[in-house]
Amino acid sequence: MYRRYGKRLLDLIIVIPALIVLAPVMAVIALLVRIKLGPGVFFRQRRPGLHGRPFTMLKFRTMTDARDAQGRLLPDEQRLTPFGRFLRSTSLDELPELFCVLRGEMSLVGPRPLLMQYLDRYTPEQRRRHEVLPGITGLAQINGRNAISWEEKFAYDVQYVDRLSLWLDLNILALTLWKVIKREGISQPGHATAEEFRGSPPPMPPRPQPRITGSD
């Protein structure tokens, strides 16, 4: 019952008042992004949603459009400004995702929506993370966020799919607030957020058992 109806109701009960209360904050952030980073307040990107169906995710921009002599975008680490780092460390860049929740493309809690090109790199078990709506926060985010490995993240995502409940969602939301205050797990060392997921390594084959020959 909660999975089919209650979860959506919880999202709306929280998101509608949150958008009203946070509207002035979001307006100020949008203005600052425009002043500090130039035209284009929002970062828009196609991400896989429920059952892998694509949707457009919204975030506040945190990087410039700086390019090299050949016109190619510079690496993320070079385009991420101090203001952008502040938005990411406080998770303020995530606020526009509330509109995605309002539209029913995301939920407050669920596996984070990743890149479209990752879809073909998942194992069948990891692909189960798309059995529920993607979320702004999730079980992986309160257990290390970007400081843990991809395999650990996906294990938490699948665990969430199996354990989904009102009590779990409320716990994750409460712990997320604490994690945001502590600013933990924002990025991996040497990366703006996390390194690219290139697929999980194949399982190691079992070691052959030594043959025992001879007699007593």
50: three-class secondary structure by DSSP: helix
- Give 11's DSSP letter: H
Query: Distance of CA 186 to CAs 87, 95, 182, 189, 194, Å?
Result: 11, 16, 10, 10, 9
pLDDT value at residue 13: 97
Structural domain includes residue 109: yes
Structural domain includes residue 199: no
Q: Which amino acid is at 163?
A: R
Structural domain includes residue 212: no
Structural domain includes residue 48: yes
pLDDT value at residue 203: 58
Per residue in 127-182, pLDDT (tens digit) is: 999 999 999 999 999 998 878 889 999 999 999 999 999 999 999 999 998 888 87
Average pLDDT over residues 19-28: 97
Structural domain includes residue 188: no
Instruction: Tell me the H-state helices in 38-190.
Output: 76-79, 82-89, 97-102, 150-163, 166-182
Structural domain includes residue 205: no
Give how many domains the chain has, as a whole number: 1
- Domain hosting residue 30, numbered range: 2-67+74-182
pLDDT value at residue 182: 75
Structural domain includes residue 62: yes
Structural domain includes residue 210: no
pLDDT value at residue 198: 85
